[in-house]
Every structure is written in C-alpha cells, then in structure tokens.
Amino acid sequence: MRTQKKMLPLLCAMILVSGLAACKDAQQPKQSNLPAAKAASQTVPVAAAQKPLALPWPPAPNGNTVLAPNLLADNYYVVLDGSGSMLERQCSGNQSKIETAKNALKEFAASVPADANLGMLIFTDSQIRELVPIGTGNRQQLAEQVQSASAAGGTPLHEAISAGYAQLEQQAMRQLGYGRYVLVVVTDGQANPGHDPTEKVRWMLDNTPVELHTIGFCIGTDHALNMPGRTVYKAADNPAALRQGLADVLAEAETFDVATFQQ
C-alpha cells in the first residue's frame, strides 16, 4: 500500500509533463511538500508543519527545466560558517572549531540516505563558495571539499542563506515541489552589520515549505536564527553536541541510524 501511494505523485507528474498541469493540485495540496505516504507515517517538525503559503511554491518549471529522476527525494543543503572566529578553539578541545565542524559534517554527509540530495556551501567575508552542488552520489566529493575548506573574515549570513535557499528552490522546481527541503546552517556567530538574515528567513518561512535547522556552535541560544516555533535551533557547546545537532536534522529520514553519531 505504501508503494502504491508513493507511485501516485510520480504518475501525476508524468501526466503533468504531457500538459495536464491541474493534476498536481488534485493529487496534493500546494501547502504540503510531503508525499501522502510520508505524511501518514512521520511526525513533522513544528518548523515544517503544513501551512497555507502566501505564494505558489516552487515557481513553475520553465522550458529548460529537466525533471529530477526521483520527484519524492529529500533535499538537504548545508551552509557552513567559514568566518575567522571558526579558527578559535573554544568548545573544540585541542582543535579549531572549523576542524570540529569539518569532521561532524563528513559524518553527517555519510549518514544522509543515498537517495536524498545533498549540497553544501561555505562562506567567508570575501566570498560564498559552493563546495558541492546539490545531488546524489557526491558524498566522497563533499568530504574531500570540506576537508580542504578554510576560515577567514566575517559572517555574511543573509547572503549565504539566500544562496543556499536558491539551490533548494531550483531543486524544488525539478521535483515539482514534492519531497522535503531542509536548509542546514552551522555557525559560531552573529551576522555582520548589514547582513542580518532575519528578513530573508521570515520570508522563506512565510512563503515556502523549506525548513531551517541551525546548529549554533559555542554561541548559546541568543541568535537571530533561533525563532521558537518556526525554526529548529540547537545550541552545541562541544563536538558531540555538534554531531548530535546534525544527526537530529535527519530524524525524519526513514533510513537514519543515530548509532553512526555515537561512535
């Protein structure tokens, strides 16, 4: 029965490609991005609960959009703080915070289900650099790119979150809005003046089903991205808490095994 339910949106999408765009609306409400089978079996985090959206989401695919092979895939996009303060050693034992974050993110990437899409960028004050485009089969590449990442400068959170969201929106167009969309932010500080992400985050939460999960590393809970009831925020003051915060992001994934993060 579960398999049959999952096939319905896929069959609907095939009809949509042939020109019957109304099929999607009849099959699944626009305000929900969870397939019916998942909605029946999973507890949705408060930040991802079904809600009426102010605008249709995602934007309609254009003529150049290639549909994803798996319309029901979960999607995770990581925004990693590469500011200069990540070179400090607080909360990290005998290594820098950036090294601790790298190790945790490599474990996280290895634990993301193989059929889920994963991507990552890192930001410094001088650039926002995508380490790995969102996709599958990229876990080893991501681990290698993360390991080579360095930290310097400030914290342009608004621009970095906007860039990460844009990648999820593009993927949503390829999946016709089906699946789960999660933006994961790992940061150890507040945004620089003029780079406050609050307005962008509120727009995203009001107009899209994208979830925002933030792990505040060594900064407590007083952070702009901590919006109780809207975002998921975890304060981490040691490497184990950072790993667990990332593990919690995958709590809705059926194949998630927390034992990976307890070794």
Per-residue pLDDT band for 28 (boundaries 50, 70, 90) equals very low
Give residue-wise pLDDT tens across range 66-76. 999 999 999 99
- pLDDT tier at 32 (50, 70, 90 boundaries)? very low
The pLDDT of residue 1 is 43
Question: What pLDDT is attached to residue 240?
Answer: 97
* Least confident window among 10-14, 38-42, 43-47, 184-188: 38-42
Which of 26-35, 77-86, 104-113, 207-216 is the least confident region?
A: 26-35
pLDDT in the model for residue 52 = 59
Options 3.40.50.410, 3.30.930.10, 3.40.190.80, 1.10.3720.10; which CATH number does 75-262 get? Answer: 3.40.50.410
Over residues 165-190, mean pLDDT? 97
pLDDT in tens, 154-175: 999 999 999 999 999 999 999 9
CA distance 229 to 142: 31
Provide the 8-state DSSP code for 92. S
Q: Residues 216-241: what's their mean pLDDT? A: 97
Using CA atoms, how far apart are residues 125 and 69, in angstroms rounded to an integer? 36
pLDDT of residue 51: 55
Answer with the residue of higher pLDDT: 74 or 93.
74
Q: Residue 120: which of 192, 191, 204, 182 has the closest Cα?
A: 182
Instruction: Give pLDDT, residue 156.
Output: 95
Report, as an integer, the average pLDDT of 43-51. 42
Domain ranges, ordered by start, for the chain: 75-262
| Helix, strand or coil, per DSSP, at residue 195 | coil
- At 248 the pLDDT is 96
Cβ–Cβ < 8 Å for 59, 166: no
Average pLDDT, the chain: 82
Closest to 212 measured CA to CA, from 86, 79, 83, 113 = 79
Q: Please check the confidence at residue 3 and state whether its pLDDT lies above 70.
A: no
Q: Where are the alpha helices (DSSP H) in 18-96?
A: 22-27, 36-41
Go through 37-65 and write b for each residue having 16 or more CB atoms within 10 A of its CB, e for each that does not.
bbeeeeebbebbeeeebeeebbeebeeee
pLDDT tens-digit readout, 231-258:
999 999 999 999 999 999 998 554 434 4
Q: Strand pairing partners for 135?
A: 118
Q: How confident is the model at residue 29 (pLDDT cuts 50, 70, 90)?
A: very low
pLDDT for the residue numbered 48: 42
- Tell me what pLDDT residue 253 has: 53
Least confident of 1-15, 78-92, 244-258: 1-15
